[in-house]
Chain A
């Protein structure tokens, strides 16, 4: 997994609440057998009309936000389907950090497993960042080590993150490798289960 330490990048505001993963990446892009190239499908119905032409008025089609690396979004971002294609598409597009008041559980975990940082802030803080991103300067800084987001005006907000998740992100740890180091404990569990609930292996 890719490590996340610090990011200086453009932030795009996406004001809608409850953006589900069907919106982040619609079904027709889920038929791939690899994870590359999904940027083409990111927010497809928001970005393109039925003829595949870019829609004006959607923030990521605005030249000022085209290379955005940070998204500032409405509440409950990433609800719905568990498709990990959502963080893959965001990352393939260049988005490395999403800021919101809350995230759906499965989406948040999927982001973590891909080194995409999700930051939860209070409603008034997200609103303040959203307002700045709507202004003329869109360059924000995110520092995971100090747990801060700095807006173009210099306004700085601290965010909470679980210390273990922080370490995982900073080091870009391979979760499977870490778990397989516990193989003896897994062996013991399986032996106990085979004795206690033998029908499960029948």
Chain B
């Protein structure tokens, strides 16, 4: 039809969930609400104060992930040493019991990081609207679901109404053409994209990821990519569903079965961007040009290829930017112009909603095994840990013998949770410690006050653990 541009994937999900419009805002139906202990107590208290009920407990799923310890989970919540964490975990258990919400408590094999659990249970499905009081909810966009992080007032709003009030964002597309080189992963792709667009580059926009290199990613890789969308400022990232998506979901506990499966797949296949759809902004990258990438500074946009050097403040155009770079170098204890591979590390953290899935652990274990066969272990001065994303990931990894490989080279093998990504539990950096981390934020103090975080892929983190400094994983392959 002339003058009628096609719709984007985001447009289609939006239109399919529009309940009403009110005072210039859309009221969007929410298909799945994931909740955890940290951002919900005030929301449930708000409902109680107003005498409101949870509208759809059946569309809500609760986990305990942010402040659970990664050792001794079998002892139960009452044994959690941190009094505030314990109270928050107990409060969640009480709130979900009162409301009749399904809950995987700490120690349950199905429990884990909320953005690992949703997909592995098959609760995350294409075309859905998904929210959670956690900014990394963008992860679920890997399935072609509109998934967004929300605040606690919005959590309360969704609990009460199963809807979210929102203005529509703009459409942005990031296309990564070509193929990634060996040793280059979804994490490197995501960091390279953030380096390109900046940490506010996606503000006010929903980003659809497209192109050969994106299509070639596994579901785990797509989750890593969408997970980091928020670090580029966009609340949601999307990858159109395809056969890989359907194959991943097939047989998952909450996935439809039999006739319902066929019906669902037909429906899911309608969620793609029309060929004639127009995006408000397009960014194109060459996948072959992406190197293993790490961060040097205190913002996820502070990226450098592993072959590169730490920036020199004088090279930046504005006084504000120069001052910011100087501050970051000072905080990180780095010298302008030094090769990034000279940064000696103290800690390694493999985990988080970004990189704690089975494929991440396999990639990490492959590097560890190679090192072990060459007689190399985690460097003497390095403390390294692996925190699987869920009890089921942990079980699968143990069935494949990955835990034995990690332990053999000197990693701690822990129980699931958010752990040292944000240091709400006992796992955190001491002041001045430098960490090779597979997590998502290198902000000042994120992993512990004064801690210095370098973001990288799981394979790169293992290579760094063995070498004792940041290193190019391709030297290990």
Residues of A within 8 A of B (CB): 15-18, 20, 22-23, 26-28, 30-35, 45, 50, 74-76, 79-84, 87, 102, 104-106, 109-110, 113-114, 162-165, 167-168, 175-176, 178-180, 182-183, 185-186, 189-190, 193, 196-202
A110, A163, A176, A201 — most chain B CB neighbours (10 Å): A176
Task: Tell yes or no: B133 within 8 A of A by CB.
Answer: yes
B125, B133, B153, B446 — most chain A CB neighbours (10 Å): B153
Write the chain A residue with the least CB distance to B149: A82
Minimum Cβ distance to chain B for residue A47 (Å): 13
Write the chain A residue with the least CB distance to B44: A33
Minimum Cβ distance to chain A for residue B258 (Å): 10
With A50-B431, A202-B260 given, is the CB distance from A186 to B161 under 8 Å? yes
Minimum Cβ distance to chain B for residue A167 (Å): 7
Task: Tell yes or no: B57 within 8 A of A by CB.
Answer: no
Out of B50, B163, B256, which one reaches A186, CB within 8 Å? Answer: B163
Residues of chain B within 8 A (CB-CB) of A179 are 22, 27, 157, 160-161, 163, 165
Task: Tell yes or no: B173 within 8 A of A by CB.
Answer: no
Minimum Cβ distance to chain B for residue A16 (Å): 7
Task: Tell yes or no: B111 within 8 A of A by CB.
Answer: no
* CA A34 to CA B46, docked complex, whole Å: 10
Pairwise interchain contact B82-A31, C-beta atoms closer than 8 A: yes
Task: Tell yes or no: B31 within 8 A of A by CB.
Answer: yes
Pairwise interchain contact B153-A164, C-beta atoms closer than 8 A: no
Task: Tell yes or no: B339 within 8 A of A by CB.
Answer: no
* CA A162 to CA B50, docked complex, whole Å: 28
Q: Would you give the 0/1 interface string for B74-86, flagging 1 where the beta carbon is closer than 8 Å to chain A? A: 0000000010110
Further 15 A-B residue pairs, CB within 8 A, beyond A23-B443, A33-B45: A18-B299, A20-B441, A26-B449, A31-B424, A32-B88, A50-B431, A84-B42, A104-B233, A105-B203, A106-B230, A109-B154, A114-B153, A162-B167, A186-B29, A193-B29
Task: Tell yes or no: B41 within 8 A of A by CB.
Answer: yes
Q: Which of B412-427 contact A (CB under 8 A)?
A: 422-424
* CA A39 to CA B175, docked complex, whole Å: 43
Residues of chain A within 8 A (CB-CB) of B200 are 18, 75-76, 79, 102, 104
Q: Which of B311-357 contact A (CB under 8 A)?
A: 320, 324, 327
22 residue pairs A–B, Cβ–Cβ below 8 Å: A20-B443, A26-B449, A33-B87, A34-B41, A76-B200, A80-B230, A80-B441, A87-B151, A105-B204, A110-B153, A162-B167, A165-B24, A179-B157, A179-B163, A182-B20, A186-B19, A186-B163, A189-B19, A190-B162, A193-B29, A199-B261, A199-B263
* CA A82 to CA B256, docked complex, whole Å: 31
With A30-B424, A45-B449, A164-B23 given, is the CB distance from A74 to B153 under 8 Å? no
Minimum Cβ distance to chain A for residue B322 (Å): 12
Task: Tell yes or no: B445 within 8 A of A by CB.
Answer: yes
Pairwise interchain contact A35-B42, C-beta atoms closer than 8 A: yes
Residues of chain A within 8 A (CB-CB) of B42 are 33-35, 84
Task: Tell yes or no: B444 within 8 A of A by CB.
Answer: yes
With A45-B449, A179-B163 given, is the CB distance from A17 to B149 under 8 Å? no
Q: Which of B44-63 contact A (CB under 8 A)?
A: 45, 50, 52, 55, 58
Minimum Cβ distance to chain B for residue A191 (Å): 12
Write the chain A residue with the least CB distance to B200: A76
Residues of chain B within 8 A (CB-CB) of A45 are 444-445, 449
Pairwise interchain contact A178-B39, C-beta atoms closer than 8 A: no
* CA A109 to CA B154, docked complex, whole Å: 9
* CA A31 to CA B86, docked complex, whole Å: 9
* CA A178 to CA B25, docked complex, whole Å: 11
Minimum Cβ distance to chain B for residue A51 (Å): 12
Pairwise interchain contact A164-B25, C-beta atoms closer than 8 A: yes
Out of A113, A114, A199, which one reaches B264, CB within 8 Å? Answer: A199
Q: Would you give the 0/1 interface string for B136-165, flagging 1 where the beta carbon is closer than 8 Å to chain A? A: 000000000000011111101100111101
Residues of B within 8 A of A (CB): 19-20, 22-25, 27, 29, 31, 38-39, 41-42, 45, 50, 52, 55, 58, 66-67, 82, 84-85, 87-88, 91, 125, 133-135, 149-154, 156-157, 160-163, 165, 167, 169, 199-200, 203-204, 230, 233-235, 256, 260-261, 263-264, 267, 299, 320, 324, 327, 422-424, 431, 441, 443-446, 449-450
* CA A200 to CA B162, docked complex, whole Å: 14
* CA A101 to CA B45, docked complex, whole Å: 35
With A33-B88, A198-B260 given, is the CB distance from A180 to B203 under 8 Å? no
Residues of chain B within 8 A (CB-CB) of A17 are 320, 324
Write the chain A residue with the least CB distance to B150: A82
Residues of chain A within 8 A (CB-CB) of B423 are 27
Pairwise interchain contact B19-A109, C-beta atoms closer than 8 A: no
Residues of chain B within 8 A (CB-CB) of A165 are 24
Minimum Cβ distance to chain A for residue B206 (Å): 10
Write the chain B residue with the least CB distance to A110: B151
Minimum Cβ distance to chain B for residue A86 (Å): 9
With A50-B449, A104-B200, A179-B161 given, is the CB distance from A113 to B154 under 8 Å? yes
Pairwise interchain contact A176-B29, C-beta atoms closer than 8 A: no
Residues of chain B within 8 A (CB-CB) of A76 are 199-200, 203, 233
Write the chain B residue with the least CB distance to A113: B153
Minimum Cβ distance to chain A for residue B33 (Å): 13
With A31-B85, A80-B135 given, is the CB distance from A106 to B165 under 8 Å? no
Residues of chain A within 8 A (CB-CB) of B149 are 82, 106
Out of B19, B23, B324, B446, which one reaches A16, CB within 8 Å? Answer: B324
